[in-house]
Chains A and B, each alone.
Chain A
Amino acid sequence: MNRYFNEAIETAPRNQLFHLQSYNLSRTVYHAYNNMPMYRKRMDEAGVKPEDIQSVSDLKKLPFTYKQDLRDNYPYGMFAVPPEELQRIHASSGTTGKQTVVGYTKHDVDIWAECVARALVAAGADENDFVQVCYGYGLFTGGLGLHYGAEKMGATVIPASTGNTARQLTMLQDFKSSIICCTPSYALYLADSLRDLGIPLDSIHLKAGIFGAEPWTENMRREIEERLHIKAYDIYGLSEISGPGVAYDCECQNGMHVNEDHFIIEIIDPITGEVLPDGEQGEVVFTCITKEALPLIRYRTHDIASITHEKCECGRTFVRMTKPCGRSDDMLIIRGVNVFPSQIESVLLSCGNVDPHYMIIVDRVNNTDTLEIQVEVSSANFSDKVRSFEAMAAQISASMQSVLGLSAKITFVEPNTIQRSEGKAKRVIDKRKLI
């Protein structure tokens, strides 16, 4: 069995990687400067010329890129190639109005698939495997990302997409899926369903799972492995950089290898922007060095993690990053959907008669994230009829579902009971314990 999808690169000596990265970084900076007006403006303002970027060591001279930049250039304003070169559009999940839209050329889709293929092979996949992809297929990068990666490495794809757990279980049994790709909480939900339906574990044929799109812990990994009798591998990514496969677990399960021939990772102090050394926790920043359509430079992910350059026993020389252990902004990941409290607020306010006093309560019950939104009753929306409240809750719920793709339980509380504070109000109680 191949242990690597691309052994030459995945185990390349560090100095060789450094030169490769430096070469590609320099090319990308020229490409961005010449084809992305925003980068030309930013670099001119910072007094940096493309020729100043000769190696990876020069990266810190470049300004950061933020999610807001993508929103400001919605939808296609940041693309560095003409439309005829684009092959694919994706957009970030769960956003309203200004989505974060990303584009790919044929080359970009191909390197993304290569990155995912490496992750699959590192998780023990080969041509004989049946890979059941239970991520959503659509604008979300999870489904198509794993799909193309599995095809690239020669496995057989079962494009199950999300939902309909009973059917997912039938496919697991009858189609003899050997690898499953989904969120870690859905893996546990499947384990619960198997138990509840009395389906014996030996009737399914899974050997491994590749889990991502939401934060999870080593404890969850152990629980998934024990309950499904599989090896559980982490996969990391974000659509702005490409999608899943930016970094991936190897058999050592001791940090995710970053596909460094395509993406340069930095860990920075989120306040000062200063680059932090190995082992120190900070905000993850990525620079794409091989992409054509959207080569983001020093993109602030807001994920908090640390990295290590220590050699991994698997033989890969790629730097490893820890599982993200938090966010440097207020983004929530609920059932794999990225959502900001401000988006929930705008949905609430669009429902009319709802005051901007609310509390978002996120919890994990039976391995599924729950979202409760407490809304204050006001004299404007108070009625003596229970039916009116039911209608209001149903309306808010339906808007949350259609705009954010999230189901939410709406509860009404008395006025002035949700804490007011000067400055930034506390709007979120996240009870999920990720230990």
Chain B
Amino acid sequence: MIIKQISIFVENKPGRLAEITEIIAKNNINIRALCVADTTHFGILRIIVDNPEEVERILKDAGLTVSITSVITACIHDKPGGLASVLKLFADNGIQIEYMYAFIAKSDNEAYVVMRIEDEDTAAKLLHANGFVGMND
């Protein structure tokens, strides 16, 4: 349920995101999920990969500014109300989400939501207790 996410600093200039994804491609890293946070002057590319520790090292060696953080994943039904079921659970329990993104799973009718939450252990317990499973469960 708790997995590692790689975040990469991306300066806001033309071609920079392409350069970074090129580095990721050259090192044969498969991006399972991604999201880009954009501000006026920079972005933060957040990716989910297999072997995050190794990927962190590779990207750092390539000169990128990288951090590794824990995020919560939850499998939801790919149908109306799927996401709302998780968010309502968090709202009812006063758990705040810093940011989130979602992607469709390989199997039909399922999607994954990735959430950055300060107190991830409490959130994970809550999800478990309510029958949710994560990407790595």
Q: Which residues of B sit under 8 angstroms from A386, Cβ to Cβ?
A: 37, 39, 44, 99
Q: Which residues of B sit under 8 angstroms from A433, Cβ to Cβ?
A: none
Residues 365-394 of chain A, each 1 if its beta carbon lies under 8 Å from chain B, else 0 = 000000000000111001111110100000
In the assembled complex, B42 has its CB within 8 A of some CB on chain A: yes
How near does chain A come to B3, taking the closest CB pair, in angstroms? Answer: 13
In the assembled complex, A350 has its CB within 8 A of some CB on chain B: no
Select which of A379, A387, A411 is within 8 A of B65 by beta carbon. Answer: A379
Check if B41 sits within 8 Å of A384, measured CB to CB. Answer: no
Check if B46 sits within 8 Å of A384, measured CB to CB. Answer: yes
Q: How far is the CA of A414 from the CA of B8 in the complex (A)?
A: 10
Q: Which residues of A sit under 8 angstroms from B69, Cβ to Cβ?
A: 384
How near does chain B come to A9, taking the closest CB pair, in angstroms? Answer: 56
Check if B11 sits within 8 Å of A384, measured CB to CB. Answer: no
How near does chain A come to B11, taking the closest CB pair, in angstroms? Answer: 5
Q: Which residues of B sit under 8 angstroms from A416, Cβ to Cβ?
A: 63
Check if A382 sits within 8 Å of B9, measured CB to CB. Answer: yes
Q: Which residues of A sit under 8 angstroms from B65, Cβ to Cβ?
A: 377-379, 382, 414-415
Q: How far is the CA of A413 from the CA of B116 in the complex (A)?
A: 24
Q: Which residues of A sit under 8 angstroms from B39, Cβ to Cβ?
A: 386, 389
Check if B67 sits within 8 Å of A384, measured CB to CB. Answer: yes
In the assembled complex, B73 has its CB within 8 A of some CB on chain A: no
Residues 43-69 of chain B, each 1 if its beta carbon lies under 8 Å from chain A, else 0 = 010100000000000001001011101
Q: Which residues of B sit under 8 angstroms from A193, Cβ to Cβ?
A: none
Check if A414 sits within 8 Å of B11, measured CB to CB. Answer: yes
Which residues of A from 373 to 428 have beta carbons under 8 Å from B? Answer: 377-379, 382-387, 389, 411-417
How near does chain B come to A416, taking the closest CB pair, in angstroms? Answer: 7
Q: Which residues of A sit under 8 angstroms from B99, Cβ to Cβ?
A: 385-386
Summarize A's interface: helix, strand, loop or mixed.
Answer: loop
Q: Which residues of B sit under 8 angstroms from A385, Cβ to Cβ?
A: 98-99, 116
Check if A382 sits within 8 Å of B37, measured CB to CB. Answer: no
Which residues of B from 1 to 49 have beta carbons under 8 Å from A? Answer: 5, 7, 9-11, 37, 39, 41-42, 44, 46
Q: How far is the CA of A385 from the CA of B71 in the complex (A)?
A: 12
Q: How far is the CA of A382 from the CA of B11 in the complex (A)?
A: 12
Q: Which residues of A sit under 8 angstroms from B67, Cβ to Cβ?
A: 379, 382-384
Residues 65-106 of chain B, each 1 if its beta carbon lies under 8 Å from chain A, else 0 = 111010000000000000000000000000000110000000
How many contacting A-B pairs (Cβ < 8 A)?
48
Q: How far is the CA of A137 from the CA of B10 in the complex (A)?
A: 44
Summarize B's interface: helix, strand, loop or mixed.
Answer: strand
A379's nearest neighbour on chain B, judged by CB, is B65
B20's nearest neighbour on chain A, judged by CB, is A414
Size of A's binding interface in residues, CB under 8 A:
17
How near does chain B come to A396, taking the closest CB pair, in angstroms? Answer: 14
Check if B60 sits within 8 Å of A384, measured CB to CB. Answer: no
Q: Which residues of B sit under 8 angstroms from A389, Cβ to Cβ?
A: 39, 42
Which residues of A from 162 to 179 have beta carbons under 8 Å from B? Answer: none
Select which of A378, A384, A411 is within 8 A of B7 by beta carbon. Answer: A384
Q: Which residues of A sit under 8 angstroms from B10, Cβ to Cβ?
A: 414
Check if A384 sits within 8 Å of B5, measured CB to CB. Answer: yes
Q: Which residues of A sit under 8 angstroms from B42, Cβ to Cβ?
A: 377, 389, 411-413
Select which of A377, A378, A384, A414 is within 8 A of B116 by beta carbon. Answer: A384
How near does chain A come to B79, taking the closest CB pair, in angstroms? Answer: 30
Check if B98 sits within 8 Å of A387, measured CB to CB. Answer: yes
Select which of B46, B66, B98 is within 8 A of A379 by beta carbon. Answer: B66
Interface centre among B9, B42, B60 (most CB of A within 10 A): B9
How near does chain B come to A415, taking the closest CB pair, in angstroms? Answer: 6
Q: How far is the CA of A414 from the CA of B66 in the complex (A)?
A: 11
Check if A414 sits within 8 Å of B9, measured CB to CB. Answer: yes
Check if A413 sits within 8 Å of B37, measured CB to CB. Answer: no
Check if A384 sits within 8 Å of B44, measured CB to CB. Answer: yes
Q: How far is the CA of A411 from the CA of B9 in the complex (A)?
A: 13
A383's nearest neighbour on chain B, judged by CB, is B67
Q: Which residues of A sit under 8 angstroms from B9, Cβ to Cβ?
A: 377, 382, 412, 414
Check if B5 sits within 8 Å of A411, measured CB to CB. Answer: no
B37's nearest neighbour on chain A, judged by CB, is A386
Q: How far is the CA of A385 from the CA of B117 in the complex (A)?
A: 11
Select which of A379, A383, A413 is within 8 A of B60 by beta carbon. Answer: A379
Q: Which residues of B sit under 8 angstroms from A377, Cβ to Cβ?
A: 9, 42, 65
How near does chain A come to B96, taking the closest CB pair, in angstroms? Answer: 11
Q: Which residues of A sit under 8 angstroms from B116, Cβ to Cβ?
A: 384-385
A416's nearest neighbour on chain B, judged by CB, is B63
How near does chain A come to B16, taking the closest CB pair, in angstroms? Answer: 8
How near does chain B come to A391, taking the closest CB pair, in angstroms? Answer: 13
Q: How far is the CA of A413 from the CA of B10 in the complex (A)?
A: 8
How near does chain A come to B128, taking the closest CB pair, in angstroms? Answer: 24
B98's nearest neighbour on chain A, judged by CB, is A385
Q: How far is the CA of A416 from the CA of B98 in the complex (A)?
A: 29
What would be 10 A-B contacts, judged by CB atoms less than 8 Å apart?
Answer: A377-B65, A379-B67, A382-B67, A383-B7, A383-B67, A385-B116, A386-B39, A386-B44, A386-B99, A415-B63
Given contacts A386-B37, A386-B39, 6 further A-B contacts (CB under 8 A): A377-B65, A379-B66, A382-B66, A384-B44, A411-B41, A412-B11
- Give the top 9 A-B pairs by smallest Cβ distance, nearest first: A384-B7, A411-B41, A414-B11, A382-B65, A377-B9, A384-B69, A377-B65, A386-B37, A382-B67
